[in-house]
Amino acid sequence: MRHRIAVIGGGPAGLTFARVLHRHDHPVTVLERDPARDARPPGGTLDLHEELGQLALGKAGLLAEFQALSRPEGQAMRILDTDGTVLRDWQPRPDDRANPEIDRGTLRDLLLGPLDVRWGRGVTEVVPGTRDGVLVRFADGRQATFDLVVGADGAWSRVRPAVSPATPHYTGITMVETSLDDVDTRHPDLARLIGDGSMAVFGVNRNLVAQRNSGGHVKVHAQFRAPLDWHTNLDRHMGLNQRAGLDLADVEAVRSSLLALFDGWAAPVLDLLRHGTAFVHRPLYVLPVSHTWAHVPGVTLLGDAAHLMPPLGVGANLAMLEGAELAESVTAAPGPGDLDEAVRAFEQQMWARAGRWAKITMAGLERLVSPDPTEALALFDEVQPS
Ligand SMILES: Cc1cc2nc3c(=O)[nH]c(=O)nc-3n(C[C@H](O)[C@H](O)[C@H](O)COP(=O)(O)OP(=O)(O)OC[C@H]3O[C@@H](n4cnc5c(N)ncnc54)[C@H](O)[C@@H]3O)c2cc1C
What is d(CA 369, CA 38) in angstroms, rounded to the nearest whole number? 33
Over the stretch 37-88, which tens digit does the pLDDT of each residue have? 999 988 899 999 999 999 999 999 999 999 999 999 999 999 999 999 999 9
Binding region for FAD: 47, 104, 304
Ligand 1 atom closest to the Cα of residue 101 is: 8
Q: Is 32 in the pocket of ligand 1 (CB under 6 A)?
A: yes
pLDDT tens, residue by residue, 123-164:
999 999 999 999 999 999 999 999 999 999 999 999 999 999
DSSP 120: T
What pLDDT is recorded for position 368? 98
Length in residues, the chain: 386
Is the CB of residue 122 below 6 angstroms from any atom belonging to ligand 1?
A: yes
The one-character DSSP state at 296 is B
Mean pLDDT on 236-249? 84
Q: Is any ligand 1 atom within 6 A of the Cβ of residue 33?
A: yes
Which atom of ligand 1 sits closest to the CA of residue 302? 26
When pLDDT is averaged across residues 243-271 and rounded to a whole number, the result is 94
Q: Is the pLDDT at 226 greater than 80, yes or no?
A: yes
Q: What share of the chain is helix, strand, coil (3-state, %, to 5)?
A: 40, 25, 40
Whether pLDDT at 385 is above 70: no
Please calculate the CA angle 310-314-316 and round it to the nearest 5 degrees: 100
Q: Which whole number is the average pLDDT over 263-283?
A: 97
Kindly report whether the global pTM for this prediction surpasses the value 0.95: yes
Q: What is the pLDDT of residues 331-344, one digit of tens each?
A: 999 877 899 999 99
List, in order, residues 6 or more apart from 293 with CB less than 8 Å away. 163, 164, 166
What value does the mean pLDDT of the chain take?
A: 96
Confidence at 242, pLDDT banded by 50, 70, 90: confident
Kindly give the distance from the C-alpha atom of residue 244 to the centroid of ligand 1, in angstroms, as a whole number.
Answer: 33
The pLDDT score that the predictor gives to residue 337 is 81
Helices (H) and strands (E) in the chain, counts: 13, 17
pLDDT at 240 (0 to 100): 84
Contact call for residues 33 and 121 (beta carbons, < 8 A) = yes
Atom of ligand 1 nearest to the CA of 309: 19
**Feature table: binding site:** 40, 47, 104, 304
Percent of the chain past pLDDT 90, that is, above it, reads 92
Residues annotated as binding site for NADPH? 40
Asked whether the predicted pLDDT for residue 243 surpasses 80, the reply is no
Average pLDDT over residues 90-115: 95
Distance CA 313, CA 379 (A): 14
Q: What is the DSSP letter of 160?
A: G
**Residue-level pLDDT at 117:** 98
Q: For ligand 1, is residue 108 a contact (CB within 6 Å)?
A: no
Q: How far is the CA of 316 from the centre of ligand 1 (A)?
A: 7
pLDDT at 1 over 70: no
Is the CB–ligand 1 distance for residue 42 below 6 Å? no
